[in-house]
Amino acid sequence: MEKKTVFTGAATALITPLTEEGIDYAAFERLINWQIEEGINALVVAGTTGEASTLSDDEHRDAIAFAAKIANGRVPVIAGTGSNDTEYALDLTRCACEAGADAVLSVTPYYNKATQKGLYQMYTRIADESTVPVILYNVPSRTGVNIAPKTYEALAEHPNIVGIKEANGDISKIVETMARVRGRLDLYSGNDDQIVPLMALGGKGVISVLSNVLPRETVELCNRFFRGDIAGAAELQCRYHRLIDALFSEVNPIPVKAAMAAMGYCEDYLRLPLT
């Protein structure tokens, strides 16, 4: 079963530039263009780093459509469309498809703590209805639920489920997952401090917070690995370790938003309860 690889390398989990009035679309356009000029391989819009949880419904939809319009096919745009309400996740997914997104990223449902059966059924419904590829997003530290390797194996049978953003941090479980789905689901690191380890397991790259700040350098880290320069990739992984730690010194996206504001790409503005 041949599946589409959405991207290889580094995708930036983009911040959403905000002001008291709403999304700063002029800043958003500058940010998208700069990321593409720096050679980023894909963009993720309205995800965790993009403060999707505090965007209004209209803002969420508009951010996806705007990013797809500005990217204009230069790089894939992956829309964050996950929710703990399956019907709302389906609605966002339909909207992303209509807006021109190249794929959707669907986080596990949070707070209601679904069973593995519930996860399987929810993702199957989303993949059935989506007209673009679906990437699963597993981040149990935020959602309270972890996709089991056996569930990944079952979901890998769906032709429209193409990848995993894995942020559970448990290398042993990730090894088990890859043993079950290798060649059927593309693996992307969801943790910037584990890019090289996950690529060593056959991963296709990273969905990155770091690349908001260092897009070219994060792409180069991945490229070194894919060129066979494993030592060079590992050197960059270690070189950026302290910066990665700083970007997660408070809950994401507080530090990266401050960093991007210092670089002149947005206001240092977050919506409550983030400060």
CATH number at residue 76: 3.20.20.70
Catalytic residue among 165, 188, 204, 240: 165
Mark whether 137 is an active-site residue.
yes
Catalytic residue among 137, 152, 188, 240: 137
Q: Is residue 275 part of a domain?
A: no
Compute the distance between CA of residue 1 and CA of residue 157 in angstroms, rounded to an integer: 9
pTM for this prediction: 0.97
Q: Which residue, 29, 11, 24, is CA-closest to 208?
A: 11
Q: Is residue 84 part of a domain?
A: yes
Range of the domain at 141: 9-262
Q: Is residue 273 part of a domain?
A: no
Q: Is residue 269 part of a domain?
A: no
Q: Is residue 267 part of a domain?
A: no
- The one-digit pLDDT tens for each residue of the chain (275 residues) are 578 999 999 999 999 999 999 999 999 999 999 999 999 999 999 999 999 999 999 999 999 999 999 999 999 999 999 999 999 999 999 999 999 999 999 999 999 989 999 999 999 999 999 999 999 999 999 999 999 999 999 999 999 999 999 999 999 999 999 999 999 999 999 999 999 999 999 999 999 999 999 999 999 999 999 999 999 999 999 999 999 999 999 999 999 999 999 999 999 999 999 99
Compute the distance between CA of residue 257 and CA of residue 275 in angstroms, rounded to an integer: 10
Q: Is residue 198 part of a domain?
A: yes
Mark whether 265 is an active-site residue.
no
User: Number of folded domains in the chain?
Assistant: 1
Q: Is residue 96 part of a domain?
A: yes
